[in-house]
Structure 1
Amino acid sequence: MSLTSELTDISAQFEDAQRARLAAIVELRSKVKSTLANGRTGRAGVMSRHREETKARLQEIFGAAAFVRGSAQDLIERLAHERGVTRDVISTRLQLSVDKLQNSVQTQLEGAARQRKTAAQREAGARRAYLEDIDRRAGAVLANAESFMIALHNDRAAARRVWQQHCRVQRQARQPGSSAKAAFESPIATETGRYPYAQSEVVVTDSVGSFAN
């Protein structure tokens, strides 16, 4: 089916719907007019019956209201009594809950105090162990430092002797016809074995100054 034929069918359906809607509107208007006409004639009777029914209903309502008022008074008195009883029950339950809560809080506080005490003891033990370890390490460092200072003192003494020997060799080498030139040209083994030198300018110093003093 082509688009034109579909549009034609849709237009025809739309026109049919429009005609049906207009016919329904006309029919509805006629029904409304007839209903209004019939309603005007029966309105007086309906209003009279409505007034009678309303009066009877109001009397029934007033009677029911009086009954309800009496029932409400009884209910208020019963509620006041039950409220007093409920207040006592609630007060007792609240007191029990408060006592239970206080006991629970006291138990938790005691447990927390024990935990704090245990933690403090554990921390004190760890601190003692840490301090003892520091003392042990400090003692080892001091012992190593003392050994290092002794070794340094020995090395400085050995270096001083080597320097003095070097100076003597130089003085002897400068003298004419001296036989110390060969000794000056060959390396000299020191006491520690760490200060060899050849024929060159050798100056051994430390942070204080020369060992030549």
Structure 2
Amino acid sequence: MTLAPATLAQLLDADPIAPAQRAIVDTVKAYLPGIAVMLHPGKVDISELVSKALVAAPGVGIGWSRVRTLRAIDGHYSLLVDWVAYVVAEARPIANRRVEKEAVALAIGNQFLRMLADVDVCFWGMRGISAPETTPGPEFKPLFTVADQAQGTVYYTVTWSQTLTGLGVTFLPTAIGHVVEDTTTIKYPSPEELAEMDGWLAGGPEVDDA
């Protein structure tokens, strides 16, 4: 397969990561009602923590930290994406009682881990994405400093990896034939699709005219 030139507009249209990120945000919103869920670039600037600009508490910012390429033998490729969700929480009254910020963050993080463990939810309504990797598996952990605690805000992360599969174009033929039972032959819808199979189907024995 030969890589073709592409304009920036074409590259943006073909980008598989941005749609996946939006799908994750939309799904997380549905399973965390009342929690602010938003796109995040993935890399946290210290000024975001100091100014509480990461995401409004209680909230979750969805981003990614690393992308790796996996090549398939048929010409397709896959992208192994390391996703990160930033969980921001503050103490708040819930059901007429004060709930501390750590408990709020833990509740959000646990729900996120349940989403990643659910055999339906973890695909975010998408096709062409794997289940979360198990080695390493999803992880929920604190990300904060003493100064952050003094502000009454805590920061946690949920990290996991998933693979976007079947990207690019295969160099193998894609025509689909159907077996004709009476003749035990394979029929293709058009001569062009049959021609696509040339070079991939075994031919009959050569006949020597000499």
TM-score by length of 2: 0.17
Tell me which protein shows more helix as a share of its residues.
1
Larger radius of gyration: 1
TM-score by length of 1: 0.17
